[in-house]
Amino acid sequence: MGRSRHCSTYLIERSTTMPDKINQAHDSHGNTLANCVGTPFHAATSGEVRTTWWYSWDNYIVPDVYTSMPRELAAIRNAVAMIDMSPLPKMEISGPDAHRLIDQLMTRDMRGLQVDHAMFTPWCNQDGLMVGDGLVFRLSEERFIVSGETSHAWFASQAAGFDVEIRNASDQYGILSLQGPNSFDLMQAATGRDWSSLKFSQIGRTTIAGVDLFVARQGFTGERGFELWVPRQGGAAVWRHLQSVGQAFGATPAGEYAVDVARIEAGLILVSADYNGAGPDPRTARVDVVDDLHITPYEAGLGRLVDLDSDFVGRDALRAAQASSQPKRRFVGLRYEAAEILSAAAAKSAYGTALSRVVWGSMRALKNGQVVGRASSLAFSPTLRQAISFGFLPEELSQAGSAIEVELKDDEGAVIGFVGATVVSLPFVEIRRSKG
């Protein structure tokens, strides 16, 4: 699963009364980052941040670390975390032909998507390369919201002849993600309703702190949880109410660093971190778009979400790719010895940058000195107490136990050296999001 999210990490002067327009932010080179906007939850979240670490995500600033990444990740895995996911791009597609267009754009057969249900899917260009991936919510017979990599221009380019309206709804909602085993208890206490009957990828509706909102049984961590879609004006009130009620259940605000590590542990691919979208829209993450990082759903480990019996954009190219005798790459997990990474970094006087955050982009993977693939999303997992990453390797090296070397990079993309890695099965942790 992928969602368009992070940019670069930014340092910002902490204030408990930060304005909606944030003009004092600076990037790691000291350049001013002007006119970033606070999310609908910003008035509530900004006073909870005890570090100087914030994240620039599209036109927004969200907390990167409130107190401690390991503490926030532990809340996701063992209690319940409150996560601001508001900057996720949101595209509304409505009209008499909305369902037909959705079915043509997505690699899955979307004809069975019912009202008040969501479905995760990739979408591709004519060459079968992923433009993006994300969730499709069906809110009524003729109204859908797609939450994932910005693809407004791409969808519009495919809509000729369809009676639809495609609208950017990114600023209309705040998204508050409640993730962790105690999320059901928190929701019941906050609403007076038992949520155990809401199945994974179903949508419900409720009122919290006097604010009407819709709730999706979803998340990006592998844990049981919900995404609360809150009208912009009600964001701070909903956050504060849930935080107050949630104290009894270990509710902890969690920043983007913890979420990034959680999604890697859960084996969830992310556009811009692990691949580049092949569409024409501007990226919400400030990363270089490299054609070599354009991939098919099969290379992304999402082949189960491709229905070649459906008629969708890119189907013929994907059918040909499957039938081709060309060598194929597989999406795998990689495990490292953290001590070897730190030792390699120390030898290059880069000790402080190795594993200091998730390494996005591409690192070459080698076997016997020859490049055989690449790695991405390298991070230290406090849950596993190991360094882990994803890999894109040829079939013959994709079996668990295969040994390779990976080109280690620091936070700025400079090469530090080469370290050993072992192929392991994905996900790294148990996926519990659809249980209970």
- Is the Cα dihedral 62, 59, 4, 310 positive or negative? positive
H helices of 5-106, where? 42-45, 69-78, 98-105
CA distance 186 to 258: 20
Within this chain, domains 9-88+172-265 and 327-424 share the same CATH topology: no
Helix axes 69-78, 256-265, angle to 10 degrees: 50
Report the alpha-carbon distance of residue 42 to residue 20 in Å, rounded: 8
Helix (H, G, I), strand (E, B) or coil at 388: strand
How are beta strands 90-94 and 143-148 bridged, if at all?
antiparallel
- Give the angle 339-341-346 at the CA atoms, nearest 5°: 90
- Could you tell me the maximum CA-CA distance found in the chain, to the nearest angstrom? 62
Fold of 90-168: Alpha-Beta Plaits (3.30.70)
Following DSSP, what letter does each residue of 90-119 receive, concatenated?
EEEEESTTHHHHHHHHBSS-GGG--TTEEE
The answer for residues whose C-beta is within 8 angstroms of residue 142's C-beta and 6 or more apart is 94, 95, 96, 98, 99
Q: What is the pLDDT of residue 325?
A: 85
Taking domain 327-424, whether its CATH number is 3.50.50.60 is answered by no
Coil vs helix vs strand at 240: helix
Q: Where are the domains of the chain?
A: 9-88+172-265, 90-168, 327-424
**φ, ψ at 230 (rounded to 5°):** -110, 130
Q: Is the dihedral of CA 397, 401, 403, 408 positive or negative?
A: positive
Under CATH, to which class is 9-88+172-265 assigned? alpha beta
How far is 161 from 163, CA to CA, in rounded Å?
7
Nearest Cα neighbor of 10 from 44, 58, 47, 67 is 58
Centre a 10 Å sphere on the Cβ of residue 353 and count the other Cβ atoms it contains. Answer: 17
Instruction: State how far the Cα of 212 lies from the Cα of 181, in Å rounded to an integer.
Output: 24
- Block residue for tokens 């082949």: 303
- How many Cβ atoms from other residues are within 10 Å of residue 366's Cβ? 16
Residue the block writes with tokens 């069906």:
138
The reported pTM is 0.93
Closest CA to 119 of 148, 82, 160, 92: 148
Helix pair 183-191, 235-246: axis angle to 10 deg: 110
Task: Scan for tokens 């754009």, then name that residue.
Answer: 105
Contacts 24+ apart (CB under 8 A), 306-312: 306/107, 306/108, 306/122, 307/107, 307/108, 307/109, 309/109, 310/103, 310/107, 310/108, 310/109, 311/104, 312/103, 312/104, 312/105, 312/106, 312/107, 312/124
Residues 6 or more apart whose CB falls under 8 angstroms from that of 346 comprise: none
Q: Which helix (H) or strand (E) holds 316?
A: helix 315-323
Q: What is the pLDDT along the chain (436 residues), one digit of tens a residue?
A: 434 334 334 443 333 333 344 444 443 333 344 567 899 999 999 999 999 999 888 889 999 999 999 999 999 999 999 999 999 999 999 999 999 999 999 999 999 999 999 999 999 999 999 999 999 999 999 999 999 989 999 999 999 999 999 999 999 999 999 999 999 999 999 999 999 999 999 999 999 999 999 999 999 999 999 999 999 999 999 999 999 999 999 999 999 999 999 999 999 999 999 999 999 998 777 655 565 799 999 999 999 999 999 999 999 999 999 999 888 899 999 999 999 998 998 888 776 778 888 999 899 999 999 999 999 999 999 999 999 999 999 999 999 999 999 999 876 778 899 999 999 999 999 999 999 8
Q: Which of 306, 356, 333, 315 is nearest to 404 (CA)?
A: 333
Cα torsion 313, 317, 322, 327: sign: negative
CA proximity to 79, closest of 261, 253, 203: 253
